[in-house]
Amino acid sequence: RKFLRERWKDKYRYYTNKKPHGITLRQLPIFTVMITWQCKSFPELSNEELYSLLQLRIGVFVVEQNCSYQDCDGKDLKAHHLCAWENDVLLAYTRLLPVGVSYDHAASIGRVITAPAARGKNLGRELMTRSIEEVYRLFGRIPITISAQLYLKRFYESFSFTQRGEPYLEDGIMHISMV
């Protein structure tokens, strides 16, 4: 047993579970997911990458959230697109917009999305952290404004965004402006 434990220690974590009659040892395999992060302008996106990000956006924002709206709004052409890939599967995405596209005096992070299969793994937190860093890298340290779904207010507050103004209805979903 000791030999096997040593041999597989790189592939398994050991957890202890307290049970009424003592402690038992259980082996759980460690699955490492290799995520590749890419930030590309619209002309740099391949046809397959563009198809994947539009498919994810429509699948979540239109189908899952039952919200009929025009996703292709012309802003994608001026945006940078931050994508998290596992092999050829898009796990998370944001659209990064420079000053003057959505807001006159601020850059914007929009279309923040995590694929349903990738939820619950803190990928959304890493996505927002990387999105803020990319905005600063691309456009300088300027204000960032977002139009956030109201139920995600606390999530965005954890990144130091603050609410500006009253909640409003956008495409049938309550939103707030945050800076």
Tens digit of each residue's pLDDT (9 = 90 or more) over 90-123: 999 999 999 999 999 999 999 999 999 999 999 9
**Secondary structure class of 16 (helix, strand, coil):** strand
> What distances in angstroms separate CA 100 from CA 79, 103, 164, one per listed residue?
11, 5, 19
Provide the whole-model pTM: 0.80
Rounded to whole angstroms, how far apart are CA atoms 39 and 131? 9
Rounded to whole angstroms, how far apart are CA atoms 101 and 103? 6
DSSP strand pairing (36-41 vs 22-29) = unpaired
Rounded to whole angstroms, how far apart are CA atoms 149 and 111? 11
**Secondary structure class of 5 (helix, strand, coil):** helix
Q: What is the reported pLDDT for 127?
A: 98
Rounded to whole angstroms, how far apart are CA atoms 36 and 71? 25
Kindly tell me the sign of the dihedral angle through the C-alpha atoms of 163, 168, 170, 175.
Answer: positive
Q: What is the reported pLDDT for 32?
A: 57
Q: What is the Cα gyration radius of the chain?
A: 20
Contact between 93 and 130 (Cβ < 8 Å)? no
User: Mean pLDDT of all residues in the chain?
Assistant: 86
